[in-house]
A and B are shown apart, each in its own frame.
Chain A
Amino acid sequence: MDVSNIPSYVTIPAGIALTLFAVRKFRERSWGWCKSVRDMSGKCVLVTGASSGLGEATVVELAQRNARVIMACRDEAKARAAVERIRKLTKSGDLIAMHVDMKSLGSVVEFAKKVKQDNENAPGVEPRTEDGLEILFGVNHLAHFVLVKELLPLLMEESAPSRVVVMASSLYASGKAMFDAEKLESSVRRPKLRNSLYCDSKMANVLFMRELARRLEATSVNAYAVCPGWCNTNLFRHSNYSIVKKLMLAPILFWFMRSAKQGCQTIVHCTTEESLGNDSGKMFKDVKEYPLIPYAMDEKLARDFWDYTDQLAKDLLKKHVDYMNASCDDSAIANVNDSLQLTSQDLRRTVLVLICVVYCRKTFMVLLSLGENRISFVLLVCANLVAEMHVTSAAGILAWLDEPVPELQVFTLQKLNEVVDEFWAEISEHIEKIEVLYEDKNFSHRNLAALVASKVFYHLGSYQDSLYFALGAAGLFDVNSSSQYVTTIVAKCIDHYTKLRLVKIAKEKKALGKAFDDGNFVITGQPELIPSESVMLTLSGLDGGRKMDAISRPMNPNEPVDPRLEQIVDRMFQRCFDHGQFKQALGIALETRRMDVFEKSILSSDDVLGMLSYAFKVTMSLIDERQFRNEVLRTLVNLYRSLPGNPDYVSMSQCLIFLDDPEAVAELLLKILSGASEDSEVMAYQLAFDLYESATQQFLGKVLDALRTMSNITFKIPTSHSTVEKAEEKVEAKIEEKMDTDEANVEDGAEPKPPAVKSQADTVLDDAEKVKKTKLEKLATILCGDVPISLYLQFLIKSNHTDMMILKNTKDQVRVSVCHTATVVANGFMHCGTTSDQFLRDNLDWLSRANNWARFSATASLGVIHKGHEKDALALMQAYLPKESGGGGGGTSASASGYSEGGGLYALGLIHANHGAAITKYLQESLTTSTSPFVRHGGCLGLGLAAMGSQRLDILELLKEQLFQDDAVTGEAAGIAMGLVMLGSNDGDVVHEMITYAQETQHEKILRGLAIGLAMIVYGRLEDAEPVIVKLTTDKDPILRRSGMYSIAMAYAGTGNNGAIKRLLHVAVSDVNEDVRRAAVESLGFLLFRTPDQMPSVVSLLAESYNPHVRYGAAMALGIACAGTGLQSAITLLDPLTNDQVNYVRQGALVASALVLIQQSETSNPKVKEMRNTYSKVLSDKHEDVMAKFGAILAQGIIDAGGRNMTVSLQSRTGHMHMMSVVGMLVFTQFWYWFPLSHFLSLAFTPTTIIGVTAELKMPKVQIRSAAKPSLYAYPAPLQEKKKEEREKVTTAVLSITAKQNRRRRNLADFMEVDKEERKEKEEKEKEKKEREKKEEEEREKKKKEDEPHFEILENPARVLKPQLNVVSLEGSRYKPVKDISQGGFVVLTDNSPKDPQDLVEPVAAMGPQLEPEGDEPPPPQPFHYPDD
């Protein structure tokens, strides 16, 4: 291609362009490039005017070298934009955008306003600085002069070596130093001078640099001046060229001006290059040194100019004093002290404000130390300005904390409070400063400091500290706010308060306890109850000693709990009340032991009755500490009493039982009885029934006594038949008789008048008294247990569903004497309370195999069978009881051994358990007269049972006497009996005596008896038992340690006390003695019976222990805690244990499974059937061990207890601990050592029934509707006799060879075929028949299934299983229950039509249904004798 072809109008411009481009490239080469690659991390560079142009480019370069760059910019929006731009280019370095205006030395306030009004145009519109100075001089020189001067101390002291790089220009050469401020002012009006002004300002820069360098000669601070060259930045905006000119200049600019990046190279060079070293005072251009003109080198000139400038700055700042005064009332500084007296120095501070923003804390300190302390408001204004910027770091705010200016600190805290949620991590590094502020007593806003600190600690997860400071924040901590912070802290607050209260109360109690404790046991330590140590630990763990002073102060019992804490808690209570959350308030009140709030929460609620019952429930189920519980109950009773209208007597009486206050109960009963209506009478009876079910014998006795003394009426108490003769009389007859005579007496005294006639006061009184007396007597029969026991007995006799087949099968398979005993015991359980001793009668021969203790046991089992059958007790047992005549010498032949006599006495005890007023005398006598240890053994047990919990001292003495004979057999029983008699008394003397004797005696048997006895003495005493427990558990003797375990079980039974559980678990895995470990695990069951569903998880690991004793214990614990629940998880744990390798573990598992599955119907719990099969399998297995068989037999007895009408539960119907059951269960577990003790389980059996009773204490015929399918709660089907049939059905196996032979034979002899066919036909027919039958059966079953109704009607004493209780209701309208029927047990009914004749349930005779009704009243059956005797 030919060049000439191209037209010249193309080539020429192209040529020019090329040339120019070449020029540009050439120039660029000479401009130089900073080669320093120094890593600037850790260095801090302040760049003014950093939001654009050269400044920005410099920042980029520096940031890339990891420097920390403070960008001083005038316009915050622009600054932010610049930061974003730079961030795109580089991620390194630390950028801090700060607001500084180099144009204004004066009012920042004014300026802020202006900036807001006119962000963009400010420089162009106003070409003067606000101080009236020409802008170039002001910005370029004066502002930087002030800035650098103020920063000097920092540069010199803290950050040396450092550099000051002054932006000059090569144009400086044509400038002059200007000393005339007037001239400066006037020069504004001469725009043409502008460029020279620029030169002047640059000259000023250079002079300043020179003087600075000179002044800093001795230091490591260096100063340089820099000429960036002609750069295309918006500095150009200051040039006054017209637009046209600018347009014309544009291409030139393009080719000759440098870009910002190129321009900043020299600056960066001077900033970073390490080799510059001592070149202070020099000027640089194009990354090279640039010689200065001599004018600029003039030292004197430079010094003069420095002084001049300094003076000028001061003068200028002074000018604005008035202005500043005027703007004081600005809203931003409203909170500044009015007394501020501005001095001229304040203005100087205005400049410093700029520096404040730039972090120069040091400078502040210097200035403040000069005594100029009135700068606060300026700082404040400045701070406001900055804080309004969008912050990405709280560092800027935090820096002000160091200023000892209160106003600024307050402001800072306010700001911090706003941003703490986001910047807590940063603030937490300066937390000590805030803490110091809080601790400064003179600081006006301590609360605010505390609030901020609290929030920070909250975010750090240190709640204790947070709480401490929240308390310090006082009013600022807004309890009513719903923020998470507040709710968390309030929760912690309540926790803490609770802890403090507990400590306080524990200490008070301890002080009290010491004053009263004069017994043998000094309270050595109650680790669970005095958490002070642990609280102290947690506190000290959280923070050092400083806070300890404040927080731990309330630990001191002499001083009250921190009032601030209390205040917050009170506020919380108030809030609860305001919002109607009374239950919450009640709960917290109980936790914090605030009885005042407790009462208030009940009384001020809308539903007082509901709250009361809720409070009662909570108190009973959740409060572990006995003393406190009593206090609460006392309050509750008072509340009940004060209630208007009809109070809830049922709950009230329950409270009183727990308070052990028989007088109050009696008073209550009397009060109800004296009520006019029949309802009240019925209510009294109902109460009496409830009392009987849940109170001890002793308590009831006291109630009766109190009733007698209070009513001033001498009514007969039916249990006066304590002698033998009287016992034989029939109770009912007696009552009737007595009543008759009483009535007769009354009639004698005064003619009976209808109550309508009220003329004579006396007669009316008498009449009323008479009525009252009958009522009282009825009440007494209930209270002393006669009526309830006989009613239960009626129920049990009536609905006896024992499956004799089971016993028969067992009997047939039994070979060993142990199993023999077990079968007898199981028979007792099965017929418990049914009075049916049919099995024993049928198998007298078999029974006679029992010898010695087996005989003792067999005789005693009669007591189980006749449990509660008190009126015929003596007659029944006549044959076995020691003859009074011959008893003294131990005379008669075979029975002289006394086994059956002993058994007889034991049986009497079992019959009269916990209700033995009638029989104790007899037992006492037989005990004193007999000499045989076996008789005395039985006698002791019997006496203990009969006088259970009576705490009668005469009996105790008698037993002690037996104990001290030091006879092993007698002693064991005496030990247990003492425990039974003194049940729950926690009598220090007795305990002491028993322990001492236990430590002395040589006989292990006695020791064992005492061990159980001791445990029973502390029954239900909770922390009161602690001294005994400590003493026992630390004993050397393993049996006493075991006793300690049982003591824990008894003392804390049903509370689920964590401390107790912990202790037991610890022993369970650490004691050296197997028995102790086993006992510890077993005891867990007693603690947790209220929460059976927790039990499996507690022992799940123990059940897999390598130690068989622990496994056994785990099984028993499950059985005890989950008794009668049928809990699936418990069974899954027990199931594998029934196949354990160790025989006794299998035994325990079998017994426990029976306890769990008792009274579970097969439909609702399929496991029942499996387990029953397991039992029979274990029994029939030839290779099975005797131990396991023993367990299986017992299990069979337990699961069908009381004719399948009884269950085991350690809780009474009302949800309280059932004393009899707990005691029975405890002694039952001792069958491990002594088989006869297994009879004690009968105490734990309770009938599952609802018995409706009329006001006459008779059972009417009432129907109860159960809204569930009948099969769901049906009795299990009785066993079929099927073994033989099965054997027939088995078809003979045909071997293939025989089949072949047959075939061959068939082929050979055809004639036989006819016969065979016939046979075949027959067979087929039979088959068809069978099939048809089968089908029919199936259909019938189907029909049954289809037809099964959805409800069931039960007759009055109805068997109602526990889960069934929820679906029962009373049928018919005649009777109405006094209390909720779904609680079961006795329900007294009010008769709506009392006139109509009542249809009563026929009483059934004892001894079960097998007795043919011969006459009207069958005579008591003849006692049987063992044929051998």
Chain B
Amino acid sequence: MVASDVEDVEMKSVDGEGVREAAGAETKDADALTLEDIREHARLLEKSVASKEPRFAMRVLRTLPTTRRRLNPAVVRRLIEGFYTHSPAERDNLLKFAGGRVTDETNEATFKPLRNLKHTASPLLPEVDVYLNLLVLLRALDSGDHALAADCSDALMDKVVSLDRRTLDAISAKCYFYHARCYELTNKLATIRNFLHRRLRTCTLRNDFEGQAVLLNCLLRNYLSQSLYDQADKLVSKCQFPPSASNNELARYMYYLGRIKAIQLEYSAAQRHLTQALRKAPQHAAVGFKQTVQKMLVTVELLLGEIPDRQTFRQNHMRKALGPYFELTLALKTGNLQGFSDTLSAHGAKFQRDDTYTLIVRLHRNVVKTAIRMIASAYSRIPLRDVAAKLMLDSPEDAEFVVAKAIRDNVIEAVINHDEGYVQSKDVQDLYCTKEPQQAFHHRISFCLDIHNQSVKALRFPPKSYHKDLEESAAERREREQQDLEYAKELAEDDDEY
């Protein structure tokens, strides 16, 4: 997840707080609804454990972003009080993280055990326990007190690590993610690297694919945020991304891969990964993520000497974010050195924030190249002095040097007449005599085939569908159909996860 998205979410939560204080009565109802939903979540988790069907747990987790938005201190407090009826110590422990003021009247009046009366004394199911903990952690994160959130996530990690249950995998994967997030916010990323490595190993041993994917991404993010590209690259080369991990994780992974490759000068690989990241990302949501990927992608494409489609910059949600990059592209396209350095100085800070600055600095060469190419195609013969003026170089000697290099790099076909100080371009070859069109064609075809293959791979088939019709009764079928509907709805919301 990218910083900007998280900021989005946080801003909303702050807004939410303001609104809540304005209309007390309404929120009470809303709180009650939230509580009821979370109770339903707990029930689903129990069902998931009982029937060993991970899909119920997945449903709960899919609604996590929505649930997160609806959390507030009051809800969290009541959750803790309602669920942790069996152990006051644990309850008090969690209440520390819940935040909000302790108002006695709400406490007394609204306290009601959220669990089945029969089981109030028995310990919670670990899955439910961890899930509730996670909700508390999310609340702590949203409250803005990162140190508190880090403490909370430490406690949660202790719990997760001590448990070894396959039914817990999906939930703990989420927990890892937020744990890493907490430490990123508190700027202590280096300290958890070892922990993440250890968990990654455990997940690999236990075939916990989701956890593996999340941890791998967390580690990569960790390394990249400290510019440890070498480490990240080595990790990637030694680990296999689990093929059955979710698309969202895969998109993230691709993005990180793209960044690593870009820094290592493997631009075409980087482009491939970034494109895939963009394609794997949710369609309608995760705007922040897509913007970030797009920025990186544009930069990489520019480095490759390609000019991205204008369409890319025109999309509604991209227009603003990609503004500076658009300027950059224009400068590059026209070989406008002045424009390039202007853009660089104007938006340098922004580029640095986007982690693209380093790459953009490398673009300088490309700008010069383009400029020379344009000069060469415009003039069959031009004095070096003029070239120097056009390229804003100090002396004709500099220009000569630059042009010579361009000739050597096969950027232009020209000859320098040193004595008389001019550049003589050769005639432009007929492109269609070369293999160029063929290669371009091949490139497109392979791209199409690739997309086709990937979409076939991405198709999901329901498991054991072949005797689905046989074993269900009418009631079961009704339930299934209803679930399908819900599932479709959730899929639409799925994008919120970003």
Question: Interface residues, chain A, CB within 8 Å of chain B?
Answer: 35, 37, 39, 41, 64, 66, 87, 89-92, 94, 275, 390, 392-393, 395, 421-426, 428-429, 458-461, 484-485, 488, 1100-1101, 1104, 1129, 1132-1133, 1135-1136
Of all chain B residues, which has the CB nearest A1132?
B471
Q: Which residues of A contact B235 (CB under 8 A)?
A: 425
Given A91-B263, A422-B197, A1104-B466: A393 touches B230 (CB 8 Å cut-off): yes
Of all chain A residues, which has the CB nearest B263?
A92
Is B234 located at the chain interface by the 8 A CB criterion?
A: yes
Q: Which residues of A contact B193 (CB under 8 A)?
A: 422
Q: Which residues of B contact A1132 (CB under 8 A)?
A: 467, 470-471
Q: Which residues of B contact A64 (CB under 8 A)?
A: 358, 361
Contact call B365/A90, Cβ cutoff below 8 A = no
How far is it, in angstroms, between the C-alpha of A257 and the C-alpha of B231 when the chains are bound? Answer: 40
Is B362 located at the chain interface by the 8 A CB criterion?
A: yes
In order of increasing CB-CB distance, the 10 nearest A-B pairs are: A92-B358, A425-B234, A1132-B471, A425-B238, A91-B358, A425-B235, A91-B227, A37-B364, A422-B194, A426-B234
- A709 CB → nearest B CB, Å: 58
Of all chain A residues, which has the CB nearest B228?
A392
Contact call A425/B357, Cβ cutoff below 8 A = no
Contact call A421/B198, Cβ cutoff below 8 A = yes
Which residue in A35, A92, A460, A488 is a CB contact (below 8 Å) of B361? Answer: A92
Given A392-B226, A422-B194, A488-B205: A90 touches B357 (CB 8 Å cut-off): yes
* Beyond A91-B358, A421-B198, A425-B231, 10 extra complex contacts between A and B, CB < 8 Å: A39-B365, A66-B358, A390-B190, A424-B197, A425-B234, A428-B234, A458-B201, A459-B201, A484-B202, A1133-B470
Given A64-B361, A1135-B470: A275 touches B230 (CB 8 Å cut-off): no
* B: interface residue count bin: 35 or more
Contact call B263/A37, Cβ cutoff below 8 A = no
Q: Which residues of B contact A1135 (CB under 8 A)?
A: 470
Which residue in A66, A87, A458 is a CB contact (below 8 Å) of B362? Answer: A66
Is B237 located at the chain interface by the 8 A CB criterion?
A: yes
Q: Which residues of B contact A461 (CB under 8 A)?
A: 204
How far is it, in angstroms, between the C-alpha of A41 and the C-alpha of B361 when the chains are bound? Answer: 13
Q: Which residues of B contact A392 (CB under 8 A)?
A: 190, 226, 228, 231
Q: Which residues of A contact B365 (CB under 8 A)?
A: 37, 39
How far is it, in angstroms, between the C-alpha of A161 and the C-alpha of B226 when the chains are bound? Answer: 32
Is B496 located at the chain interface by the 8 A CB criterion?
A: no
Contact call A460/B398, Cβ cutoff below 8 A = no
Contact call A35/B398, Cβ cutoff below 8 A = yes
* Contacts between chains A and B (CB distance < 8 A), count: 84
Of all chain B residues, which has the CB nearest A419?
B194
Of all chain A residues, which has the CB nearest B202?
A484
Of all chain B residues, which has the CB nearest A84?
B226
Among B237, B239, B265, B361, residue most surrounded by chain A Cβ atoms (within 10 Å)? B361
**B residues 383-431 with Cβ under 8 Å of A?**
394, 398, 401
Q: Can you give 24 contacting A-B residue pairs, CB < 8 Å?
A: A37-B368, A39-B365, A66-B358, A90-B358, A90-B361, A91-B263, A91-B357, A92-B362, A94-B230, A392-B190, A393-B230, A393-B231, A395-B230, A421-B198, A425-B234, A429-B234, A459-B201, A484-B202, A488-B205, A1104-B466, A1129-B471, A1132-B470, A1132-B471, A1135-B470
How far is it, in angstroms, between the C-alpha of A485 and the C-alpha of B302 when the chains are bound? Answer: 46
Is B355 located at the chain interface by the 8 A CB criterion?
A: yes
Contact call A87/B227, Cβ cutoff below 8 A = yes
Contact call B194/A421, Cβ cutoff below 8 A = yes
How far is it, in angstroms, between the C-alpha of A66 and the C-alpha of B264 when the chains are bound? Answer: 10
Among B197, B202, B228, residue most surrounded by chain A Cβ atoms (within 10 Å)? B197
Q: Which residues of B contact A426 (CB under 8 A)?
A: 230-231, 234
Q: Which residues of B contact A423 (CB under 8 A)?
A: 231
- A296 CB → nearest B CB, Å: 28
Q: Which residues of B contact A1100 (CB under 8 A)?
A: 467
Q: Which residues of A contact B364 (CB under 8 A)?
A: 37
How far is it, in angstroms, between the C-alpha of A424 and the C-alpha of B202 when the chains are bound? Answer: 15
Of all chain A residues, which has the CB nearest B239?
A425
Q: Which residues of A contact B194 (CB under 8 A)?
A: 421-422
Among A87, A89, A392, A424, residue most surrounded by chain B Cβ atoms (within 10 Å)? A392
Of all chain A residues, which has the CB nearest B236?
A425
Which residue in A37, A66, A421, A1129 is a CB contact (below 8 Å) of B197? Answer: A421
Of all chain A residues, which has the CB nearest B464?
A1100
**B residues 44-89 with Cβ under 8 Å of A?**
none
Q: Which residues of A contact B190 (CB under 8 A)?
A: 390, 392
Contact call B467/A1104, Cβ cutoff below 8 A = yes
Of all chain A residues, which has the CB nearest B196?
A422
Of all chain B residues, which has the CB nearest A483?
B198
How far is it, in angstroms, between the C-alpha of A37 and the C-alpha of B363 when the chains are bound? Answer: 10
Which residue in A393, A460, A1104 is a CB contact (below 8 Å) of B228? Answer: A393
Among A395, A424, A425, A429, residue most surrounded by chain B Cβ atoms (within 10 Å)? A425
Q: Which residues of A contact B359 (CB under 8 A)?
A: 92
Q: Which residues of B contact A1133 (CB under 8 A)?
A: 467, 470
Q: Which residues of A contact B238 (CB under 8 A)?
A: 424-425, 428, 459-460
- B212 CB → nearest A CB, Å: 11
- A624 CB → nearest B CB, Å: 27
Q: Which residues of A contact B202 (CB under 8 A)?
A: 484
- B406 CB → nearest A CB, Å: 13
Of all chain B residues, which has the CB nearest A485?
B201
- A1225 CB → nearest B CB, Å: 26
Contact call A39/B362, Cβ cutoff below 8 A = yes
Q: Which residues of B contact A421 (CB under 8 A)?
A: 194, 197-198, 201
- A762 CB → nearest B CB, Å: 72
How far is it, in angstroms, between the C-alpha of A458 and the C-alpha of B201 when the chains are bound? Answer: 9
Of all chain B residues, which has the CB nearest A1103?
B467
How far is it, in angstroms, between the C-alpha of A1129 and the C-alpha of B471 when the chains are bound? Answer: 8
**What 0/1 readout, one digit per residue, does chain B (348-370) give for beta carbons within 8 Å of chain A?**
00001001011101101100100
Of all chain B residues, which has the CB nearest A428?
B238
**What 0/1 readout, one digit per residue, does chain B (441-479) give for beta carbons within 8 Å of chain A?**
000000000000000000000000011001100000000
Q: Which residues of A contact B231 (CB under 8 A)?
A: 392-393, 423, 425-426
Q: Which residues of A contact B358 (CB under 8 A)?
A: 64, 66, 90-92
How far is it, in angstroms, between the C-alpha of A1333 and the C-alpha of B368 when the chains are bound? Answer: 104
How far is it, in angstroms, between the C-alpha of A1101 and the C-alpha of B464 when the chains are bound? Answer: 10
Q: Which residues of A contact B362 (CB under 8 A)?
A: 39, 66, 92
- A483 CB → nearest B CB, Å: 9
How far is it, in angstroms, between the C-alpha of A395 and the C-alpha of B237 when the chains are bound? Answer: 16
- A647 CB → nearest B CB, Å: 40
How far is it, in angstroms, between the C-alpha of A91 and the C-alpha of B361 when the chains are bound? Answer: 11
- A1330 CB → nearest B CB, Å: 31
Q: Which residues of A contact B228 (CB under 8 A)?
A: 392-393
How far is it, in angstroms, between the C-alpha of A1018 and the C-alpha of B243 when the chains are bound? Answer: 47
How far is it, in angstroms, between the C-alpha of A64 and the C-alpha of B344 when the chains are bound? Answer: 14
How far is it, in angstroms, between the C-alpha of A41 and the C-alpha of B234 when the chains are bound? Answer: 18
Q: Which residues of B contact A422 (CB under 8 A)?
A: 193-194, 197
- A64 CB → nearest B CB, Å: 6
Contact call B355/A91, Cβ cutoff below 8 A = yes
Contact call B263/A87, Cβ cutoff below 8 A = no
Q: Which residues of B contact A425 (CB under 8 A)?
A: 231, 234-235, 237-239
Of all chain A residues, which has the CB nearest B358?
A92
How far is it, in angstroms, between the C-alpha of A584 and the C-alpha of B226 when the chains are bound? Answer: 47
How far is it, in angstroms, between the C-alpha of A275 and the C-alpha of B402 when the chains are bound? Answer: 11
Q: Which residues of B contact A458 (CB under 8 A)?
A: 201
How far is it, in angstroms, between the C-alpha of A459 and the C-alpha of B204 when the chains are bound? Answer: 9
Q: Which residues of A contact B467 (CB under 8 A)?
A: 1100, 1104, 1132-1133
Q: Which residues of A contact B368 (CB under 8 A)?
A: 37
Q: Which residues of A contact B197 (CB under 8 A)?
A: 421-422, 424
How far is it, in angstroms, between the C-alpha of A41 and the C-alpha of B470 when the chains are bound? Answer: 65
- A1349 CB → nearest B CB, Å: 26
Q: Which residues of B contact A393 (CB under 8 A)?
A: 228, 230-231
Q: Which residues of B contact A66 (CB under 8 A)?
A: 358, 362
Among B205, B265, B352, residue most surrounded by chain A Cβ atoms (within 10 Å)? B205
- A430 CB → nearest B CB, Å: 11
Q: Which residues of B contact A89 (CB under 8 A)?
A: 352
